[in-house]
Amino acid sequence: MASVTAAAYLSRRRKQLFASPLLRALSTSAAQTDSKPPLPQIPPFDYTPQRYDGPLADEVLAKRKKFLNPALFLYYKKHVNIVEGKMQYLFDESGRRYLDAFAGIVTVSCGHCHPHVVDAVVRQTKLLQHATTIYLHHAIADYAEALVAKMPGNLKVVYFVNSGSEANDMAMLMARLYTGNYDILALRNAYHGLSAATMGLTAHSTWKHNVPQGFGVHHVLNPNPYRGPFGADGTKYADDVTNVIESSTPGKVAGFFAETIQGVGGAVELAPGYLAPVYDIVRKAGGICISDEVQTGFGRTGTHYWGFETQGVVPDIVTLAKGIGNGVPLAAVVTTPEIASVLARCLHFNTFGGNPVCSAAGHAVLEVLDKEERQKHCAVVGDHLLKRLHALQEKHDIIGDVRGKGLILGIELVSDRTTKTPATVETLQLFESFKDLGVLVGKGGLHGNVFRIKPPMCFTLEDADFLVDVMDHSMSKL
């Protein structure tokens, strides 16, 4: 599972392409007969899934409709019954292999069923599954020590919780208690969760119910380089933060929330130079700065371990979830000792926060990412993938924008590049086609016209080529 350099991979691929008499013969024959190009082939993978004897898709769907939350939604017209996963691949009930380019919504960081994480979970489960923090146990303390060692500055205290929504909910509470102020700023197009409080932070009508929400939350202009009024000029968007504080608050705020690359919003990377002046504005107004690293953390950007580092800032609170546990329900709030002290004013308790099994999994994730140099790997593979996607954009007018860093990328589809009209229908058609060819991607953006490419961080250069080849093949048939 060692990382492969781009130079070595490209050299090998060139040799394969130009030194193969069979390939030259096939190419010549295809040109002579004007035959259809062959379908992209998924890269070879030395793994055989177990035989599946469980319920099939129709039976699972029937039970789901009868017994589960009716608000749950499914991808694809013909549903995929996923029964096994290994590293960057998933297998359905028939044993068919799919390239997972969405990682369980950016949650599988190391890879599906990574042996080191699995071993850590099994080992701890056999010893002690649960004890809560009213007793001493080394797993939570060891993991907290390892996690804060990855943080800059004075971000040295951890609260373990169970989900990103819960982490952001706690960050809101801490900001208000610590500053004594109430109003909170967040970005338009943001997604921070669906609890009663975080639904107010979220700025997508798609995820909002018609109930009281967002008390004291004000949404500022989104610094979107593609669709925003100021393009990639982050400082001009920052001026709107000052305006909102002066016009919509008492002049004092509790905090400011931002993802560095908006996830559900469609992999929107904040305009360069935005966060530094905004952090200064917010702190002068008495507030603290919160970075939502639920999707951008743990080296996924390739250039940095945390998303906020790409903008050269250090927040006062960092919220973590998803990839933190490689699929285990785990989340965290990391902050300074001074801010952390506010929750000690009364009793605070979380039944499952810091559970021994979850702590063991989280600690194992950090070890895998370090040992396998996944941040560096994301940079190499992500750079190659971006180059190929930009080339694809030149070929297909339907691609309006390609964006992101490392292995957190977005491809926005438009029916007209001048008006930037969302190509919603075509996005759905391509979405189905990708799946039929063996690639599972995510969708996002307010209009659902953005493909979200956020695979497990073991995604290879060969996988990247297969992904782009599938997209090219499907787009050519629109």
> What was the pLDDT predicted at 29?
44
Instruction: Quote the mean pLDDT of the chain.
Output: 93
CA distance readout (Å), 170 to 47, 184, 193? 42, 13, 12
The helix/strand/coil state of 189 is coil
pLDDT tens per residue, range 113-139: 999 999 999 999 999 999 989 999 999
pLDDT tens per residue, range 384-393: 999 999 999 9
Rg (CA), the chain: 23
> What was the pLDDT predicted at 285?
98
DSSP annotation of 45: -
Q: Which residue bears the tokens 């599988």?
A: 108
> What was the pLDDT predicted at 14?
54
The token duo for 128 is: 């002690």
> What was the pLDDT predicted at 348?
86
> What was the pLDDT predicted at 347?
86
pLDDT band at residue 141 using 50, 70 and 90 as cut-offs: very high
Residue 54 CB burial class (10 angstroms; 0-12, 13-18, ≥19):
exposed
> What was the pLDDT predicted at 31?
45
DSSP run (H or E) holding 119: helix 115-127
Q: Comparing 26-35, 145-154, 347-356, which segment has the lowest mean pLDDT?
A: 26-35
> What was the pLDDT predicted at 122?
98
Cα separation of the two ends of the chain: 37
Backbone angles phi, psi at 384, to 5 degrees: -65, -45
State the CB neighbour count (10 A cutoff) for residue 242.
16
* pTM to 2 decimal places: 0.91
> What was the pLDDT predicted at 36?
75
pLDDT tens per residue, range 403-447: 999 999 999 999 999 999 999 999 999 999 999 999 999 999 999
pLDDT band at residue 6 using 50, 70 and 90 as cut-offs: low
Sequential DSSP letters for 249-309: SSS--SEEEE-SEETTTTSEEPPTT-HHHHHHHHHHTT-EEEEE-TTTTTTTTSS-SSGGG
pLDDT tens per residue, range 232-253: 999 999 999 999 999 999 999 9
**How far apart (Å, rounded) are the C-alpha atoms in residues 411 and 399?**
7
What would the mean pLDDT of 26-49 be, rounded to a whole number? 74
